[in-house]
Amino acid sequence: MNNIFTENLKKFRLAKGLTQEQVADKLNVNAQTVSRWECGTTLPDVLTLPELARLYEVTVDDFYKKNSVAYDNYAQRLASVFEDSHDIEDFIRADAEFKKLIKSNSLTTYDMWEYGMIHYFLMHYGKENAFRWFDKVLEKGESDDEFAYWKTRTQRMKLCSQLGKNEENIKEQREIIENNPDNVNERELLLAAYMYAGHYKEAYEEFKKAVAKFPDRWELYIHGGDISKKLGKYNEAMEYYNKAGEIGSCFCDELYCKADLYESLGEYEKSVEMYMKIADTLRQRGYDVEADMAEKDAQEVKKKIKE
């Protein structure tokens, strides 16, 4: 093991184009000490090893590995660690190193590719983990936590949509409703499937059927408003949002929708007024962070008024 260690010490130093004297100067030791390390006469202490690894832009583990590769920089080395580990902590470390290169304006074209790749891997691993944990929730079933179950069903469908599985979503959801026509949650998921696919006319027809069967479900009216907005039926959208508010939404949902609709129509003053109403309502309920976010949204819309 010592032979591997000492060989790597020399290999990494030469790969960085450093002399023993330069290494000694950077580590505040003398050149003879560096020479003894590479000869195996003595070894760096545990406090010096991380500094040496950082200087050679490798990890400490690389010193002990046979056939270790000398990377152009530490960011590239950490990128390879993340690719192997799939650990988010390793991604964060690599990301921080690439950001240092960006800040110092020393990012090479190859580095740009590597930086893109770690985000690609993050997306890929994230997708796999999302499905894994979503499916665990669904395995537990609705009885374990009704809210989490339906949230998971919705988000899983959205992820499938983003992966181009819109028609599969719609087909699966229609089959579910044929066997369970009286479940309003399944109806909402069908509306979501059509919306994710961009099939707004079909979504509108299904909304009409659903709201006729479940007239007191505020969530359906939010869906109806969103669908109507996509179809350019703005007055109708506002009516549905108001209906949801009359029934009683959960978290100012209809107010957010109305604020967004006003903004889309260029009625910025009304949009600001709505965001401030949301902020006041949330603050009264003790949601100060969310209230601050609504006020920030109001400020962003105000900028458009000045423009």
Q: Which of 69-73, 213-217, 264-268 has the lowest mean pLDDT?
A: 69-73
The backbone region for 166, taken as left when phi is positive above 0, alpha when psi lies in -120 to 50, beta otherwise, is alpha
Is residue 44 a contact partner of residue 52, using CB atoms and an 8 Å limit? yes
Task: Produce one character per residue of 122-140: b if its CB has 16 or more CB atoms within 10 Å, e if not.
Answer: beebeeeeeeeebeebeee
Cα–Cα dist 240/268, whole Å: 20
Q: Which of 32, 24, 69 is nearest to 51 (CA)?
A: 24
Is residue 68 a contact partner of residue 62, using CB atoms and an 8 Å limit? yes
Tens-place pLDDT, residues 142-195: 999 999 999 999 999 999 999 999 999 999 999 999 999 999 999 999 999 999
Q: What is the pTM of this model?
A: 0.75
Show the tokens assigned to 39: 């000869």
Is CATH 1.10.260.40 what the domain over 1-70 is classified as, yes or no?
Answer: yes
Cα–Cα dist 223/19, whole Å: 68
pLDDT of residue 66: 80
CATH 1.10.260.40 domain residues, the chain: 1-70
Cα–Cα dist 210/187, whole Å: 7
Answer whether residue 266 shows pLDDT above 60: yes
